[in-house]
Amino acid sequence: MGDVEIRRAASDAELDAAIALRHEVFCREQGVPPEDELDGRDGDGLHLVAVEDGRVLATCRLVWVGSTVQFSRLAVEHRERGRGLGARLLEMAEDESRRTRARRMVLHAQTHAIDLYAHHGWRARGPRFVEAGIEHVAMEKTLA
């Protein structure tokens, strides 16, 4: 096993691999309809990836709306979970957002992932809701 590199997707091939991973996690594992997963915003986003030995193991997407960054599409390959890749992507996403002087970040967390975000200083806002058939809660983090 090589070292895992957390960075921006560096090529169309890496972006394709990231989107394929999202399809595997969200559509195949969780039953999200493909039309909900591919929301038309990928071209507007910054895609971060965790790469090891040339393989995309995890990904997430950032989309800017004014001074707010929407964090979404965090997906980690099933057999790579538990290695801290999601946390490392979240940290890099926050760094990337701060670099652009964003004032806050928002996300819709699947309820099983609330603790991951809370551990990184995110707070829930509002009631739980169902999105693409999965229970979520809106969360936000103010950036310093």
Q: Return the CATH number at 54.
A: 3.40.630.30
pLDDT digits 0-9 by tens, 21-74: 999 999 999 999 999 999 999 999 999 999 999 999 999 999 999 999 999 999
The residues that bridge with 29 in the sheet, in sequence order, are none
d(CA 48, CA 31): 23
Q: Are 33 and 42 in contact (CB under 8 A)?
A: no
Full residue range of the structural domain in which residue 47 is found: 5-142
Name the band, by pLDDT with cuts 50, 70 and 90, for residue 11: very high
Q: Tell me the backbone φ, ψ of residue 26, rounded to 5 degrees.
A: -80, -45
pLDDT digits 0-9 by tens, 82-131: 999 999 999 999 999 999 999 999 999 999 999 999 999 999 999 999 99
pLDDT at residue 106 in the model: 98
Number of domains making up the chain: 1
Alpha-carbon Rg for the chain, nearest whole angstrom, is 14
pTM: 0.95
pLDDT at residue 144 in the model: 73
Q: Are 49 and 58 in contact (CB under 8 A)?
A: yes
pLDDT at residue 48 in the model: 98
